[in-house]
Amino acid sequence: MQESSITKHLIEESGERKLPDPLYTNAGEQIISTEQWESNRRPELLEMFKEHIYGRSPVNRPDSLSFNVVETKSVMEGNAVLKKVDISFEGPGGKGIIHLKVFVPTNLKKPAPAFVLINKFNDEQERKEMWGYSPEKSMIERGYGAVFYCTADVDPDEHDEFKNGVHGIYDEEQRPSDAWGTIAAWAWGASRVMDYLETDTDIDSDKVAIVGHSRSGKTALWTGALDERFAFVISNESGSTGAAISRGKIGETINQINTKFPHWFNDNYKSFNDREFELPVDQHMLLSMIAPRPIYVASASEDLWCDPESEFLSLSFATSVYQLYGFKGLGTKQPPPIDSPIIGDQMGYHNRYGKHKLKEYDLVQFMNFWDGYFEKENGH
Ligand code: GTR
For the segment 80-121, what is each residue's pLDDT rounded down to a tens digit? 999 999 999 999 999 999 999 999 999 999 999 999 999 999
Is 214 close to ligand 1, i.e. is its CB under 6 Å away? yes
> Is residue 239 in contact with ligand 1, taking CB distance under 6 Å?
yes
Cβ–ligand 1 distance for 211 under 6 Å, the answer no
Query: Residue 8 pLDDT > 80, yes or no?
Result: no
CA distance 284 to 246: 9
| Atom from ligand 1 closest to the CA of residue 260 | 8
Is the pTM value of this prediction over 0.95? yes
Q: How far is CA 153 from the centre of its chain?
A: 18
7: confidence class by pLDDT, cuts 50, 70, 90: low
Catalytic, 356? Answer: yes
Please state whether the peptide bond connecting residue 292 to the residue before it is cis, i.e. omega within 30 degrees of 0: yes
As a whole-number percent, the residues of the chain with pLDDT over 70 amount to 98
Q: Which of 205, 214, 235, 316 is the catalytic position?
A: 214
Query: What is the reported pLDDT for 377?
Result: 86
pLDDT tens digits for range 207-249: 999 999 999 999 999 999 999 999 999 999 999 999 999 999 9
The pLDDT tens digits for 266-318 are: 999 999 999 999 999 999 999 999 999 999 999 999 999 999 999 999 999 99
Which residue has the CA at smallest separation from atom 13 of ligand 1? 214
Euclidean distance between CA atoms 92 and 299, whole angstroms? 41
pLDDT at residue number 2 = 45
Q: What is the mean predicted confidence (pLDDT) over 367-371?
A: 97
How far apart are alpha carbons 371 and 142 in whole angstroms?
9
Rounded to whole angstroms, how far apart are CA atoms 176 and 56? 9
Q: How far is the CA of 215 from the centre of ligand 1 (A)?
A: 6
Q: In what order do the strands lie in the sheet with 112-119?
A: 66-75, 80-91, 94-105, 145-150, 112-119, 203-213, 232-236, 295-300, 347-352, 342-343
Give residue-wise pLDDT tens across range 169-215: 999 999 999 999 999 999 999 999 999 999 999 999 999 999 999 99
Kindly state if the Cβ of 240 falls inside 6 Å of ligand 1.
yes
| CB under 8 A, 24+ apart: contacts of 36-40 | 37/321, 37/324
321, amino acid identity: V
